[in-house]
Amino acid sequence: MEDDRLTGVAATAYPEANGAQDVPLCVDLDGTLVKSDTLIDAVLLLVRQQPTSPLHWPRWVSKGRAGFKREITGRARVDVEFLPYNQPLLDYLWEQHALGRRIYLATAADIGFARQVAAHFGDLFTGVLASDGTLNLAGANKLKAFQDLFPEGFTYIGNAIPDRTLLRESVLPMVANPHRKLRKALQLDRTAIHREFIDRRSTSKVFLKTIRAHQWAKNALIFLPTILAHDFSGRSLIACLLAFFSLSFCASATYIINDLLDIEADRRHPRKRLRPFASGDLSPIAGVAIVVAFFLIAVVLAVLVPHTATHFNGTVQRTGLLQAPDSFVLWLGIYTVTTLAYSFVLKRMVLVDVIVLSGLYTIRLLAGAAASGVFISEWLAAFSIFFFLSLAFVKRFSELELMVASGRDKASGRGYGTGDIEQLRALGTSSAFAAVVVLSMYISNLTAAHLYTHMSRLWLIEPVLILWISRVWLLASRGQLHEDPVVYAITDRMSWLLGAVCALIVWLAL
């Protein structure tokens, strides 16, 4: 995967001033050496491992900030090997180490965790300065510790507003991925930055990657019941559009929650390690803010769906239990609860995870039917169950193929191992062709003959569907399929061509 990361020394790389090599180099941890906040990483990991742990937080907070950090990091074992380190800064530290310079890891993180990070780099660090469970080593406390230990002066590398005083007192101050507020503060202080170590991607690309905008394509299924019912009225179109964006914002929010809970596992994954939270390109706090905003937008749009339907049709004509006026809100709620249950628990349950994934596709169809007020047939429901179950299996199958290629034998955060590959292949391909059988029975049953003038022409879809399914599984078996089949489908020219052929066949059948 191509990495569009911006890295390097942003400011002019000035030669070290005379005598600077004799001044100790002190490096902050959170946001500086590591691009993420390790305390937040530990909190999220602990929530996933021990969902009831927040009940104890008030008692831990009463011990002060240093005490809270000790309680959290003592229970959540963050793997320091896979932390998102600032690579340009790390390269610089090794250069200075080779010159014999004293380098100290100076952080407000708990001393136990800080020592794990230092030990990971062997003899890079001369010593570690950190919070001890009682004293929080940040701001003025950190400055005092520096002044006591380094009377000859020090060079400091930081990134945020709490580092302002330290940088002002530093010999040749440096920053790594500095916050905007820190830049402005240093300009007001007239503190000249000696070097900047930048390792991050552009904000717009990070945002789009965070909300997984490409995954919104899945929600196009909302339009399918209306299209298959040949209902192209303005009321149905607007209702489906509102439902589409409502479900899309909701889906993005749940994806972010999933990514926040999966940070530790994603960092071990060769591709997922580049996700914004796992890579440290976006703060989990910003992620939580996006989640809240997107959920609010989703609810507002969902509430508008039945109102729009009433406005355009006076009274909404609906058939069946699933077409109650407020049923889209109901299905949005079911989708949200199911997705969150998947993120917290179900995705680690073998086979249950793929059934839930396939069920989420079917929920999209039901939500679309509820929004537009059309009837969803048992044929479409049966076809979607088997077809989407095959896509869920191919997703897991592709992940295992990637594991084989990378020399691993078990998926992090999942219950599958490489020994399950053949079984998943059998289950996935059989599900795919069960969907083909359902489509055949639908066409031969003539249930929808009143919708098509030339119903028999729909048989031409069969070989196209078989070709697409077979190609997907063949590419997956070769290790050439992106682990998400939806991403594959929307980026593959052949898939677009076969989709156009299917659309043409349906048009001819009309």
Q: Residue 241 and residue 308: Cα distance in Å, rounded?
A: 11
**Which long-range contacts does 400-403 make (Cβ < 8 Å, 24+ apart)?**
400/424, 401/476, 401/477, 401/479, 402/270, 402/271, 402/479, 402/483
User: Which pLDDT belongs to residue 467?
Assistant: 94
User: Which pLDDT belongs to residue 1?
Assistant: 41
User: Which pLDDT belongs to residue 419?
Assistant: 82
User: Which pLDDT belongs to residue 442?
Assistant: 84
Contact 279, 35 (CB under 8 A): yes
Six token digits for residue 244: 């589409």
User: pLDDT tens, 380-410?
Assistant: 888 988 999 999 999 889 888 877 777 666 6
Any residues with CB less than 8 A from the CB of 144 and at least 6 apart, and which? none
Q: Residue 370 and residue 368: Cα distance in Å, rounded?
A: 5
* Domain ranges across the chain: 6-200, 204-509
User: Which pLDDT belongs to residue 272?
Assistant: 85
**Residue 317 CB coordination number (10 Å):** 10
User: Which pLDDT belongs to residue 4?
Assistant: 46
pLDDT in tens, the chain (510 residues): 444 444 443 333 334 544 456 799 999 999 999 999 999 999 999 988 888 899 999 999 999 999 999 999 989 989 999 999 999 999 999 999 999 999 999 999 999 999 999 999 999 999 999 999 999 999 899 999 999 999 999 999 999 999 999 999 999 999 999 999 999 999 999 999 999 999 988 888 899 999 998 889 889 999 988 888 777 777 888 999 999 999 999 999 999 999 998 898 889 887 888 899 999 999 999 999 999 999 999 999 998 886 554 444 444 444 333 343 348 899 999 999 999 998 888 888 888 989 998 899 989 998 988 888 887 778 888 898 899 999 999 988 988 887 777 766 665 556 788 888 899 999 999 999 999 999 888 888 766 667 778 888 888 999 999 999 999 999 988 888 866 787 788 888 898 999 899 889 988 887
User: Which pLDDT belongs to residue 307?
Assistant: 52
Whole-prediction pTM value? 0.81
Q: Residue 167 and residue 173: Cα distance in Å, rounded?
A: 5
User: Which pLDDT belongs to residue 315?
Assistant: 40
User: Which pLDDT belongs to residue 145?
Assistant: 93
Q: Does domain 204-509 have CATH number 3.40.1280.10?
A: no
SS3 track for 398-440: HHHHHHHHCCCCECCCCCCEHHHHHHHHHHHHHHHHHHHHHHH
User: Which pLDDT belongs to residue 379?
Assistant: 83
User: Which pLDDT belongs to residue 146?
Assistant: 94
User: Which pLDDT belongs to residue 445?
Assistant: 78
What is the Cα gyration radius of the chain?
28
Q: Taking the domain 6-200, which CATH number applies?
A: 3.40.50.1000
Strand intervals (E) in 62-173: 103-110, 127-131, 155-158
User: Largest alpha-carbon pair distance within the chain?
Assistant: 91
User: pLDDT tens, 101-123?
Assistant: 999 999 999 999 999 999 999 99
